[in-house]
């Protein structure tokens, strides 16, 4: 089961108790690029910790209109509040993986 599949829930903004309240303030996607970089995405043959080949400048999706269902169905959650404020894509992706207890593989981070 991938990170993307694990994160479904009734309230995506309820952070675990060991995370600080700042986790909940952000409820909209800011195109930080972390979820296009950190998780493995089988539909794109994308391993953990490697930026998606479609992730373009400004962390925008270069194939947005035709992105796969897994990307279309992805919704912001409390993790965005943890990762999006960080200053670099590398830092955001590392924090994303750290939250899920995962280590990046291959090139990228
Ligand atoms: S991690 Fe959250 S804020 Fe960042 S691009 Fe993904 S959905 Fe948007
Ligand atoms: S296809 Fe687009 S939305 Fe999906 S992971 Fe790649 S860059 Fe992100």
pLDDT tens across 85-97, in order?
Answer: 999 999 999 999 9
Tell me the β-bridge partners of 41: 46
Give nearest CA residue, ligand 2 atom 5: 36
- What average pLDDT does range 94-104 have in this prediction? 91
Residue-range definition of the domain harbouring residue 55: 24-99
Q: Which ligand 2 atom is at minimum distance from the Cα of 74?
A: 3
pTM: 0.85
Tell me if 73 is assigned to some domain.
yes
Structural domain total, the chain: 1
Which pLDDT score, from 0 to 100, does residue 16 have? 79
Rounded CA separation 73/27 (Å): 16
Q: Which ligand 1 atom is at minimum distance from the Cα of 77?
A: 2
Rounded CA separation 7/78 (Å): 10
Quick one: which of 93, 3, 83 has its CA closest to 41?
3
Tell me if 47 is assigned to some domain.
yes
Ligand 2 pocket, residue 97 CB under 6 Å: no
């Amino acid at each position: 089961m991938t990170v993307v599949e694990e994160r479904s829930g009734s309230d995506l903004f309820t952070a675990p108790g060991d995370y600080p309240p700042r986790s909940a303030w952000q409820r909209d996607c800011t195109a930080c690029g972390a979820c296009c970089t950190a998780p493995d995405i089988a539909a794109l043959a994308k391993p953990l910790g490697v930026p998606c080949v479609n992730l373009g400048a400004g962390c925008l999706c270069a194939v947005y209109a035709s992105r796969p269902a897994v990307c279309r169905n992805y919704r912001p959650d409390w993790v965005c509040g943890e990762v999006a404020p960080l200053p670099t894509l590398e830092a955001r992706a590392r924090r994303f993986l750290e939250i899920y207890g995962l280590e990046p593989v291959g090139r990228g981070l």
